[in-house]
């Protein structure tokens, strides 16, 4: 009798568990049934890998059963939750430029050097490669695309304001942030304040910062300090732009930004290569009027992604072969053509496909401008606390730009907040 | 108990689900509030440091202040409009009442993200619809999303738009439960419509008003999606749209201080509890 009761209770319990767990009844059954194919799961987001390339990968690696999952929504939050739960992790995962936030958890990833990444290191841009290597020397991210920066400007507006308008002249003459600001004052004068030099204060700060090497932290984790030359220069330049009235206060990723671009309210901005696509979608009416020159003050990088292999994967070697193939220089070149993802393998920069003329940019071939920029990006160390420090500063800069807060007072307050942040 | 096991099994799904998705997270968040955790790595015991940091964090107090301001901006007009709408819906001279009831309730079930996007287009600094209207009648434009009060007005208007109909339906139910005989008696005694509204309707509605005040307090203190979609994770210009939950979200899921986020959650719990008690005393106080 007792035994029957126990079986009865066990049955009820199982039913309940199944109900709660959403009825994924027999996981892992497929594995034993199939003909010893290696199953690999890949997480990526829309437009980070071309679906056609994934289809080709399945043909290329007949021994791999590849499940490629496009993760929508907040990718980072989903990945972190999965890592925290320690179950349901993919084998391969795409990471964005927030890869440094995961450096403290480097033990959750395979060291790609152990899997043979060292052999092909020379094929990739060194600064990009280093961004995927943790301070202790473990390589957790394999280079995907990059985001070299350049100056996007309206040729017609520059010409009207009496500024150089040919990309090479612009590169040569507007070569520093001071020269850029001076150009902005000419534009302001010419158009009676109806056209602004650039979009917003945060973008100025970001771009000046992205051109330097020493940001907030040293590779040993120590804080450089708010009085580092780069931080001060970036801050002062942004404040100067605000005080000279060169900012349209149009924030990125808002309808207002799109409208400002489309209406010709903004004459230029420094942005990464992927802004080409953003701009084309935001400002279709201005097609043919934009050009791209090298950024004033130097070259930098915004964004770009990586592929990682999680420690939970049972088939790291196969996963690495797949990653290596997906991000081979030839395939990166193909992704540039299909998805506008800028290659991190400089070997393909001379390919004719990178030099195609673009009607939106008045027939200019912008590829070579970004290619040159990509080769000059400084080595920069970010550190896992980069985002929180960086956010505090850009947030406070916005108070100066939009609420006319006193820059000196905001600076003192920002220094205080950053110090507090670092004590946590 | 044993002989009724079939009954307990039948009601168990609720308790099991509650334990897994309700009780466990509550307990875990309390545990977490005393730890330092980035969400992935090891948890380290942190004592009361998270709470200390919270109490001395200017941004936290700003978020508390913002939340109260938005609550005041939204709740007072919302309950006022809801009462008027309910009164009208209850009035015998209004036709198509079901249609109006559905109409007023509709905003409540609209996707809140879609609402925030529409309101973003209304209040946008440049090319916003409201500024277009102001300009077309010759008034200066208002930088709604740059001014601290403008952001709060924009967020509050979304709350008002969404919840007025909901509260109106609740008030309507309250109105319908007031016995008609009271009004008839008042009429015989020579009371005017206004007198019977203030002497009969409002006192009889007091429990319902109390209910809506408490629910709006809880809802108002938990405001998140509206500001997040309208002004972003940092609360917009000058963090004027930073609410307590938005702050909790940013600290936990953007900055990865999960322990601290849990502490903020408990801080918020205390604030809501205190504030609800105060409200209850205020609204209930007069009748006793």
Q: Which residues of A325-363 are buried (b: 16+ CB within 10 A; e: fewer)?
A: ebbebebbbbbbeebebbbbbbebbebeebeeebebbee
| Average pLDDT of the segment spanning A338-365 | 96
Q: How far apart are CA A59 and CA A373, in angstroms?
A: 36
CB within 8 A of A97, min separation 6: which ones? A131, A147, A302, A303, A304, A305
- Which element (helix H / strand E) includes B27? helix B24-32
Q: What are phi and psi for residue A307, nearest 5 degrees?
A: -115, 135
A254 closest CA partner among A238, A266, A239? A266
User: Average pLDDT in the A411-422 region?
Assistant: 94
- Residue A27 backbone zone (phi > 0: left; psi -120 to 50: alpha; other: beta): beta
Instruction: Give the whole-angstrom CA distance, residue A63 versus residue B202.
Output: 75
DSSP E strand stretches across B100-201: none
Which positions in chain A have a beta carbon within 8 angstroms of at least one beta carbon in chain B?
12, 16, 19-20, 74, 77, 80-81, 83-84, 101-102, 104-105, 108, 249-250, 254-256, 259-260, 265, 387-388, 391, 395, 398-399, 402-403, 405, 420, 424
- Give A257 to chain B, closest Cα distance, Å: 9
- Residue B15 — very low, low, confident or very high, per pLDDT cuts 50/70/90? very high
pLDDT at res. A8: 60
pLDDT in the model for residue B188:
93
Q: Mean pLDDT throughout B73-90? A: 92
> Helix crossing, A229-243 with A407-423: angle to 10°?
140
Can you give the pLDDT at residue A29?
45
The reported pLDDT for the residue numbered A33 is: 45
Question: What integer pLDDT is reported at residue A9 of this predicted model?
Answer: 65
- Mean pLDDT (whole number) for B164-177: 93
Of B68, B73, B52, the residue nearest B278 (C-alpha)? B68
Chain B residues whose C-beta sits inside 8 Å of any chain A C-beta: 9, 12-13, 16-17, 20, 36, 38-41, 53, 57, 120-121, 124-127, 143, 146-148, 234, 237-239, 253-257, 260
Report whether pLDDT(A41) > 60.
yes
In this predicted structure, the answer to whether residue B41 has a pLDDT above a threshold of 50 is yes
8 Å CB contact between B67 and B221:
yes
Q: What is the pLDDT of residue B90?
A: 87
- Please write the tens of the pLDDT for every residue from A286-340: 999 999 999 999 999 999 999 999 999 999 999 999 999 999 999 999 999 999 9
Token pair recorded at residue A75: 């990718």
Q: State whether A83 and B40 contact (CB < 8 Å).
A: yes
Q: Which has more pLDDT, B152 or A424?
A: B152
Q: Which single residue is written with the structure tokens 């993802």?
A: A341
What chain A residue is nearest to B126 in terms of C-alpha separation? A256
Mean pLDDT for all residues in chain A? 91
**Residue A32 pLDDT:** 45
| Average pLDDT of the residues in B3-19 | 92
Chain A residues in contact with B253 by the CB 8 A cut-off are: 74, 77
Residue A145 to residue A333: CA distance in whole angstroms: 10
Cβ distance A104 to B255 less than 8 Å, yes or no, reads: no
Angle, CA of A254, A79 and A278, to the nearest 5°: 25
- Give the model's confidence band at B126: pLDDT under 50 very low, under 70 low, under 90 confident, else very high: confident
Confidence band for A21, pLDDT divided at 50, 70 and 90:
low
User: Is the backbone of residue A193 left (phi > 0), alpha (psi -120 to 50) or beta?
Assistant: left
With an 8 Å Cβ cutoff, are B238 and A102 in contact?
no
Query: pLDDT value at position B88?
Result: 87
Of A83, A260, A424, the CB nearest to B53: A424
pLDDT of residue A74: 86
Residue A24 has pLDDT above 70, yes or no: no
Q: Which residue of B has its CA nearest to A16?
A: B13
User: Taking a C-beta distance cutoff of 8 angstroms, is the pair A301, A147 a contact?
Assistant: yes
The whole-number pLDDT of residue A333 equals 97
Of A177-186, A294-303, A346-355, B253-262, give the lowest mean pLDDT range: B253-262
> Cβ–Cβ of B12/A16 closer than 8 Å?
yes
Residue A391 confidence class, pLDDT cut points 50, 70, 90: very high
Asked if A124 and A377 count as a contact pair (C-beta separation under 8 A), the reply is no
- Report for A20-24, B61-65, B271-275: range of highest mean pLDDT: B61-65
Chain A interface mutation, best of B237, B242, B250, B258, highest count of A Cβ atoms under 10 Å: B237
């Amino acid at each position: 009798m007792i035994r029957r009761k126990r079986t009865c209770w066990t049955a009820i319990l199982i039913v309940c568990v199944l109900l709660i767990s959403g009825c994924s009844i027999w996981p892992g059954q497929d594995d034993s049934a199939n003909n010893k194919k290696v199953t690999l799961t890949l997480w990526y987001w829309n437009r980070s890998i071309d679906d056609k390339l994934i289809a080709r990968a399945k043909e290329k690696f007949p021994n791999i059963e590849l499940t490629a999952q496009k993760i929508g929504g907040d990718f980072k939050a989903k990945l972190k939750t999965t890592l925290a739960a320690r179950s349901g992790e993919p084998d391969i995962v795409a990471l964005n430029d927030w890869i440094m936030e995961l450096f403290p958890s480097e033990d959750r990833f395979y060291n790609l050097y152990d899997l043979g990444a060292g052999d092909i290191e020379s094929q990739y841009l060194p600064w990009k490669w280093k961004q995927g290597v943790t301070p202790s020397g473990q390589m957790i991210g394999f280079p995907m695309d990059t985001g070299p920066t350049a100056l996007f400007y309206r040729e017609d507006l520059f010409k009207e304001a009496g500024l150089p308008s040919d990309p090479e002249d612009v590169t040569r003459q507007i070569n520093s942030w001071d020269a850029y600001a001076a150009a902005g004052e000419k534009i302001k004068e010419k158009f009676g304040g109806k056209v602004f030099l650039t979009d917003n204060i945060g973008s100025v700060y970001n771009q000046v910062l992205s051109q330097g090497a020493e940001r907030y932290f040293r590779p040993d984790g120590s804080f450089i300090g708010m009085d580092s030359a780069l931080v001060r220069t970036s801050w002062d330049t942004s404040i100067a732009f605000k005080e000279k009235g060169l900012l349209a206060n149009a924030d990125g990723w808002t309808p207002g930004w799109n409208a400002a671009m489309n209406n010709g309210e903004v004459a230029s901005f420094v942005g990464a290569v992927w802004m080409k696509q953003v701009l084309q979608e935001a400002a279709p009416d201005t097609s043919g009027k934009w050009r791209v020159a090298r950024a004033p003050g130097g070259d930098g990088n915004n964004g770009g992604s990586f592929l990682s292999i999680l420690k939970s994967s049972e088939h790291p070697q196969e996963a690495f072969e797949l990653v290596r193939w997906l991000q081979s220089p030839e395939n990166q070149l193909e992704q540039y053509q299909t998805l506008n993802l800028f290659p991190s393998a400089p070997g393909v920069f001379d390919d004719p496909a990178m030099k195609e003329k673009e009607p939106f940019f008045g027939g200019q071939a912008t590829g070579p401008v970004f290619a040159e920029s990509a080769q000059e990006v400084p080595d920069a160390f970010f550190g896992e606390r980069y985002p929180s420090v960086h956010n505090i500063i850009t947030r406070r800069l916005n108070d100066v730009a939009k609420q006319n807060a006193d820059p000196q007072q905001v600076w003192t307050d920002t220094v205080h907040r950053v110090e507090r942040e670092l004590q946590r | 108990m044993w002989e009724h096991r079939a009954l307990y099994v039948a009601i168990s799904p609720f308790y099991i689900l509650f334990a897994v998705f309700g009780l466990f997270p509550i307990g875990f968040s309390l545990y977490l509030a005393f730890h330092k955790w980035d969400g992935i790595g090891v948890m380290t015991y942190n004592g009361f440091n998270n709470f200390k940091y919270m109490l001395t964090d200017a941004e936290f107090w700003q978020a508390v202040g913002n939340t109260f301001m938005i609550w005041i901006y939204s709740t007072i007009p919302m309950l006022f409009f809801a009462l008027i709408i309910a009164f009208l819906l209850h009035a015998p001279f209004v036709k198509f009442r079901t249609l109006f009831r559905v109409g007023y309730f509709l905003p409540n079930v609209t996707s809140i993200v879609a609402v925030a996007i529409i309101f973003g287009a209304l209040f946008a600094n440049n090319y916003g619809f409201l500024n277009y209207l102001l300009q077309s009648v010759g008034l200066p434009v208002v930088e709604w999303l740059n001014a601290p009060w403008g952001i709060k007005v924009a967020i509050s208007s979304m709350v008002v738009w969404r919840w007025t109909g909901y509260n109106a339906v609740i008030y309507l139910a309250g109105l319908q439960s007031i016995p008609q005989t009271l009004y008839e008696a008042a009429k015989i005694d020579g009371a005017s419509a206004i007198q019977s509204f203030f002497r009969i309707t409002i006192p009889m509605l007091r429990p319902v008003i109390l209910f809506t005040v408490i629910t709006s307090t809880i809802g108002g203190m938990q405001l998140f999606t509206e500001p997040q979609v309208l002004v972003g994770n940092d609360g917009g210009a000058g963090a004027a749209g930073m609410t307590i939950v938005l702050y909790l979200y940013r600290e936990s899921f953007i900055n990865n201080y999960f322990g601290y986020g849990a502490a903020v959650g408990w801080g918020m719990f205390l604030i809501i509890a205190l504030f609800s008690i105060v409200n209850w005393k205020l609204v209930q106080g007069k009748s006793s």
